[in-house]
Amino acid sequence: MTETNSTQNSDSGTEPNRRRFLAAAGVGAAASMAGCLGDALGSTTNASTGESNGTAEDDRTITVGATGEVEADPDEATVDVGVEARGESAEAVAAELASGADELRATFDELGIPDDNVEERRYRISPVRRREDDTTEIRGVHSFEVTIDDVDRVGDVIDAVAEGGADDIGRVNFTLGDDTRAELRKDALDEALANADEEAAHVADNRGVELEGTMSVATDDVRVRTTSYATGYESAADDAGGAPRTDIDADPVTVTASVTVEYAFSER
């Protein structure tokens, strides 16, 4: 019987598909003002060189940091599956691993999973000392990472590879495909920029000045917080004569973007 234990790295939502919300623009706002607001506009001079550095108005800026978040249901998943073997020799273990891997690949083909969606992960054969009798045993593992384009099939894939000879089924990671990720990245940036505009307007109003326009914009890395589940299964069938089907209801994936925007301002 397959059991799942979820570990969520993203904030969960309650609405399906692409749920977006206005994130708190709380990264902070800092107003950098050259000269007092009550001072008359004029040029500043370098005391050591006597050269003019322009007007004080040139350096009057408000700098705001803000974040934006969007959520969407995952449209892609990855799962780690593998076979294990034990024996008295490396040759015997290698042969058993090869046979098990061939069975898994046949299962992937039956499921219609493209070869490009199956990535070799770990292959290892090594001696292990058994404490109970102080003898050496050869153990091996051969694992794969499988990408599933239809998240509704995740449970069926897990059940199929379990029946197809997998000795280990690791974490299932729900994420976003490249196209969806790129689209949501833009949406998250739009939210962050809107939050920055709102924050800057509040700071300007509080200081009694007028925003004149954007001087510069810097963006940080856009983060995708995926949802992952630890899986485990038992080979024994239940009382009904067969293991229940695996069903995983994945939480939304969150995309977060951060920006820093510098605005020019003038006196009212």
β-pair type (76-87, 168-175): antiparallel
pLDDT at residue 244, rounded to an integer: 58
Q: Is residue 87 domain-shared with residue 204, that is, in the same domain?
A: no
Q: Is residue 124 domain-shared with residue 87, that is, in the same domain?
A: yes
- Confidence class of residue 253 from pLDDT cuts 50, 70 and 90? very high
Contact between residue 135 and residue 128 where contact means Cβ atoms under 8 Å apart: no
Contact between residue 170 and residue 141 where contact means Cβ atoms under 8 Å apart: no
Q: With a cut of 60, say whether residue 11 has pLDDT above it.
A: no
pLDDT at residue 82, rounded to an integer: 95
Q: Would 49 be classed as within a structural domain?
A: no
- Confidence class of residue 12 from pLDDT cuts 50, 70 and 90? very low
Contact between residue 171 and residue 110 where contact means Cβ atoms under 8 Å apart: no
Structure tokens at 82: 């593998």
Q: Which of 118-122, 127-131, 223-227, 242-246 has the lowest mean pLDDT?
A: 242-246
Greatest alpha-carbon pair distance for the chain in Å reads 93
The C-alpha atoms of residue 263 and residue 198 are separated, in whole angstroms, by 12
Domain that residue 107 falls in: 77-174
For residues 236-240, give the mean pLDDT. Answer: 40
Q: With a cut of 70, say whether residue 7 has pLDDT above it.
A: no
The residues near 48 (Cβ < 8 Å, ≥ 6 apart) are none
Q: Render pLDDT for 56-93 as a digit per residue (tens, 0 to 9).
A: 555 799 999 999 999 999 999 999 999 999 998 999 99
User: Which of 172, 2, 169 is CA-nearest to residue 84?
Assistant: 169
Q: Is residue 87 domain-shared with residue 170, that is, in the same domain?
A: yes
Structure tokens at 113: 């999973």
Q: Is residue 94 domain-shared with residue 217, that is, in the same domain?
A: no
Q: Is residue 93 domain-shared with residue 163, that is, in the same domain?
A: yes
Q: Is residue 67 domain-shared with residue 185, that is, in the same domain?
A: yes
pLDDT at residue 58, rounded to an integer: 59
Q: Would 86 be classed as within a structural domain?
A: yes
Q: With a cut of 90, say whether residue 54 has pLDDT above it.
A: no
Q: With a cut of 60, say whether residue 161 has pLDDT above it.
A: yes
Q: Is residue 124 domain-shared with residue 139, that is, in the same domain?
A: yes
The C-alpha atoms of residue 268 and residue 265 are separated, in whole angstroms, by 9
Q: Is residue 134 domain-shared with residue 198, that is, in the same domain?
A: no
pLDDT at residue 59, rounded to an integer: 77
Q: Would 188 be classed as within a structural domain?
A: yes
Q: Is residue 120 helix, strand or coil?
A: strand
Q: Is residue 169 domain-shared with residue 185, that is, in the same domain?
A: no
* DSSP classification of residue 142: E
Q: With a cut of 70, say whether residue 239 has pLDDT above it.
A: no
Q: Render pLDDT for 88-141 as a digit per residue (tens, 0 to 9).
A: 899 999 999 999 999 999 999 999 999 999 999 999 999 998 887 778 899 999
User: Which of 199, 179, 252, 192 is CA-nearest to residue 222?
Assistant: 192
Q: Is residue 164 domain-shared with residue 193, that is, in the same domain?
A: no
- What's the total number of domains in the chain? 2
Q: Is residue 165 domain-shared with residue 85, that is, in the same domain?
A: yes
The C-alpha atoms of residue 197 and residue 207 are separated, in whole angstroms, by 15
Q: Would 50 be classed as within a structural domain?
A: no
pLDDT at residue 222, rounded to an integer: 86
pLDDT at residue 70, rounded to an integer: 96
The C-alpha atoms of residue 227 and residue 175 are separated, in whole angstroms, by 7
* % of the chain residues with pLDDT over 90: 62
Q: With a cut of 50, say whether residue 217 has pLDDT above it.
A: yes
Q: Give the other-Cβ count within 10 Å of 239's Cβ.
A: 5
Sort 212 into a burial class: Cβ within 10 Å, 0-12 / 13-18 / 19+: middle
- Confidence class of residue 14 from pLDDT cuts 50, 70 and 90? very low
Contact between residue 65 and residue 74 where contact means Cβ atoms under 8 Å apart: no
The C-alpha atoms of residue 128 and residue 47 are separated, in whole angstroms, by 75
DSSP-assigned states of every residue in 161-175: HHHTT-SEEEEEEEE
Structure tokens at 98: 């090869």
